[in-house]
Amino acid sequence: MTATPAPALTAPVRFERHGLIGLLRIANPPVNALSPATVAGLIAGLAAFEAAPDLQALVIHAEGRTFVAGGDISSFEAPDFSTVPYNSFLARLEAGQRPVIALLHGTPLGGGLELAMACHRRLAVASTRLGLPEVKLGLIPGSLGTQRLPRLVGAVLALDLMQSGRMIAAPDALQAGLVDELIVAAPGLPAADGLLQAGLARVQSLLAEAGGAAALVRRSSAQTAPGGPLPADFFSQALATAARKPQYPALAGLVRCAEAAVTLPFAQGEAVEAEVFAGVLRSGASASLRHLFFAEREAAKIPGLPKDLPLREIRRVGIVGAGTMGGGIAMNFANVGIPVVLVEATPEALDRGVALVRANYAATAAKGRMSLAQVEQRMGLLQGSTDFERLSDCDLVIEAVFENMALKKEVAARLGQVCRPGAIIATNTSTLDVDAIAEATGRPADVLGTHFFSPANVMRLLEVVRGAKTAPEVLATVMKLAGRIHKVAAVSGVCYGFIGNRMAEPYMREAEFLLMEGATPAQIDAAIEAQGLAMGPCRMLDMAGIDVGAKTVIELGKAGGLPDDPSYRALCRKLFELGRFGQKTGAGYYRYAGRTALPDPEVERISAALAAEHGVQRRSDISAAEIVERLLYPLINEGALILEEGIAYRPGDIDIIWTAGYGFPDHRGGPVFLADAIGLPAIVEALTRHGQRHGAGDPHGYWRVAPLLARCAAEGRRLSDVGRG
């Protein structure tokens, strides 16, 4: 087959001739997203094909790691963003009389899959994964994906794929009717090139077999959804389910679109999709989710570090401490095939820890989400030991011992001795001074914090703490490793509690003051949960352990970090003293029947007694609005301080930490994004008002407005834009 040089067309799409086949080659790295220039290039490429009547078919192929992975998410922000040019291009592409065939690899997603579905045939390599993930951005497919997918695979699977945003593997897509044929890429070439070679050859044989190019033309818009009639209440049930999550309006919108696809002519379905798309594009949920998409990717980049910094290799990981945390951390590595050595002080504690990991895997297997063979394979990667020396050949050792500075320093000193030169030493402390721990190892350049969140095998967040002396390649290695274990990572500087727990401190402080003033745990949790947070502060601490929370406060006191206020976190300390550690002891802020939290009059009695002891006035007029302001605004204020001090590199990092690690609602974008949505002047006003509440000023500075917040409010700037341009 000979390729003739292509006439120059708008980059990044080229049109070429390969014998009697026309070829549109897309090259818009990294993921061939549909930028305006790509769409323009596609339009021009199609025109070139239309102007060449001797060609029998058109093949669409993308270079690099994937077929088009979606619309360019960043272009959705543009005020003049419109799907019209792309949609009319797809209509023209499909309407042609000569076959158009998509060659798929990587992840054809969103607008990329919509392009493939407008083609007459889809050939894919077996590793391809396809999907319409727009819902994850609070959107729906806006280029007829909602109308074509049900026509190809039926409304049931289509709605499932669109509402979950999950990807479907090519072999399953073949069965479902989304892919027409699996092909094997030509060997010895980079994946995309091998696919192109095999694909062009296959198209040529298809043309020969079909006995005429026109026989290959099959338009999905003209198909009837397969799978026979649906249950009469299918769509009303789906709408009722979507109505349970009104904060994600795209879910109900997708039901409307899928129903249109199976009940209305294509053109009318198109109108329904356009109307729903316009609505969700303007929704707060979508703006928030798009913000988080880019914030998550930006968080992985460390300012000032070269992209090509040589990294250290991590082939074997050691973990000290086989408690719930240590075991959970170990699972992350075993899950991706990295061998782990789990070290404990005593055989009993080690056995308990290993048994806990096994039980966790067994529970996953019981739910059908893992095979028994996989359980054994992962357990096979986990070696337990009571011998510290076993850590000597690990490339990374994470200590996950109890949150106590003396103990952490002692373990750090031993690790400094035992770990081989070049090994990374990480501490899983959630509040303590990482620099002090780093010094204790005697090799602080090798040390950083890896703050996992409980349950460590489930929670997506990894807060990486950069010490004053952490070597750049140590930091970069751990950030890369975070991706390998499927975590979203953000960097924090060293300070009490780092980004997340430091911001949680004033939030917990106000929750406890409100309890002393007369609010109930249920009242506080309900007000916070109504804002979309997964759990209110009382339920959260009951689950994490009041002992853990109280000890953190006590350690902070020892380090001289507490305000001169005996009522500060007095309730948490009292509950700890009384052995009310939360869920695990059956009583904390609530009492528990199994996992169910029940109101406990005893807590009210304790709160009232503490109020009397500390001269706090009890009130009966605490409203949900007051709770929200008093908990969330100081948290936001602390975030502004953190930004100003350079503890966080960017506002988006704070939002990632809170949404991925603390159950903050993603449809509100994170605390900083939310602050901008509320309006900074309103927050400053409320902070000032609460500071004057008792008429006695604010002796402990609890309500002092962060200078950065005050400045942004005064200048009409968004906190989210701090540090940009």
Q: Which is nearer to ligand COA, 23 or 113 (CB)?
A: 113
Q: One symbol per residue from 38 to 57: x for binding ligand COA (CB under 6 A), - otherwise; what is it? A: --------------------
Indicate if 473 belongs to the active site.
no
Q: Which is nearer to ligand COA, 72 or 629 (CB)?
A: 72
To ligand COA, the closest distance from the beta carbon of 32 in angstroms equals: 9
- DSSP line for 503-530: HHHHHHHHHHHHHHHT--HHHHHHHHHT
Q: According to CB under 6 A, which one of 4, 5, 8, 30 is a site residue for ligand COA?
A: 30
Indicate if 403 belongs to the active site.
no
Q: What are the φ and ψ backbone dihedral angles of 575, each rounded to 5 degrees?
A: -60, -40
Choice among 94, 134, 344, 505 that is catalytic: 134
**Spatial contact of 62 and 31, defined as CB atoms under 8 Å apart:** no
Residue labelled with tokens 């294509």: 266
Q: How many residues bind ligand COA (CB under 6 A)?
A: 17
Asked if 493 touches ligand COA (CB under 6 A), the answer is no
Q: Which is nearer to ligand COA, 81 or 402 (CB)?
A: 81
- DSSP line for 638-650: HHHHHHHTTSBS-
Q: According to CB under 6 A, which one of 1, 11, 19, 74 is a site residue for ligand COA?
A: 74
**Spatial contact of 181 and 174, defined as CB atoms under 8 Å apart:** yes
Q: Which is nearer to ligand COA, 65 or 358 (CB)?
A: 65
* Rg of the chain in Å (alpha carbons): 29
Q: According to CB under 6 A, which one of 9, 26, 33, 478 is a site residue for ligand COA?
A: 33
Q: How many angstroms from the chain centroid is the CA of residue 638?
A: 23
Q: Which is nearer to ligand COA, 438 or 461 (CB)?
A: 461
Q: According to CB under 6 A, which one of 37, 47, 52, 73 is a site residue for ligand COA?
A: 73
Q: Which is nearer to ligand COA, 3 or 11 (CB)?
A: 11
Q: According to CB under 6 A, which one of 13, 44, 60, 69 is a site residue for ligand COA?
A: 69
Q: Which is nearer to ligand COA, 35 or 197 (CB)?
A: 35
Burial 549-568 (b: 16+ CB within 10 A, else e): bbbbbbbbeeeeeeeeeebb
SS3 463: strand
**Spatial contact of 21 and 47, defined as CB atoms under 8 Å apart:** no
DSSP, res 582: B
**Spatial contact of 120 and 192, defined as CB atoms under 8 Å apart:** no
Asked if 164 touches ligand COA (CB under 6 A), the answer is no
Choice among 16, 63, 94, 114 that is catalytic: 114
- DSSP line for 317-335: EEEE--SHHHHHHHHHHHH
To ligand COA, the closest distance from the beta carbon of 146 in angstroms equals: 12
To ligand COA, the closest distance from the beta carbon of 74 in angstroms equals: 5
To ligand COA, the closest distance from the beta carbon of 696 in angstroms equals: 50
Site for ligand COA in 89-148 (CB under 6 A): 107, 109-111, 133-134, 137
Q: What are the φ and ψ backbone dihedral angles of 311, each rounded to 5 degrees?
A: -100, 160
**Spatial contact of 15 and 9, defined as CB atoms under 8 Å apart:** yes
Q: One symbol per residue from 249 to 288: x for binding ligand COA (CB under 6 A), - otherwise; what is it? A: ----------------------------------------
Q: According to CB under 6 A, which one of 45, 71, 327, 500 is a site residue for ligand COA?
A: 71
Strand partners, 214: none
- Here the tokens at position 99 are 């076959």
Site for ligand COA in 296-315 (CB under 6 A): 297
Which residues in 578-719 belong to E strands, given as ranges?
591-593, 596-598
To ligand COA, the closest distance from the beta carbon of 73 in angstroms equals: 4
Q: Is 3 exposed, middle or buried (0-12, 13-18, 19+ CB in 10 A)?
A: exposed
**Spatial contact of 469 and 448, defined as CB atoms under 8 Å apart:** no
**Spatial contact of 408 and 429, defined as CB atoms under 8 Å apart:** yes
The DSSP element (H or E) to which 596 belongs, if any, is strand 596-598
To ligand COA, the closest distance from the beta carbon of 309 in angstroms equals: 16
Q: Which stretch binds ligand COA (CB under 6 A): 20-28, 67-75, 262-270, 343-351?
A: 67-75
Q: Which is nearer to ligand COA, 109 or 257 (CB)?
A: 109
Q: Which stretch binds ligand COA (CB under 6 A): 68-76, 359-367, 502-510, 661-669?
A: 68-76
Dist. CA 246–CA 164, nearest whole Å: 15
Which spans in 155-248 are helix H?
155-164, 170-176, 191-210, 234-243
Q: How many angstroms from the chain centroid is the CA of residue 664?
A: 12
To ligand COA, the closest distance from the beta carbon of 68 in angstroms equals: 9
To ligand COA, the closest distance from the beta carbon of 106 in angstroms equals: 8
To ligand COA, the closest distance from the beta carbon of 293 in angstroms equals: 7
Residues annotated as catalytic are: 114, 134
Q: Footprint of ligand COA on this chain (CB under 6 A)?
A: 30-31, 33, 69-74, 107, 109-111, 133-134, 137, 297
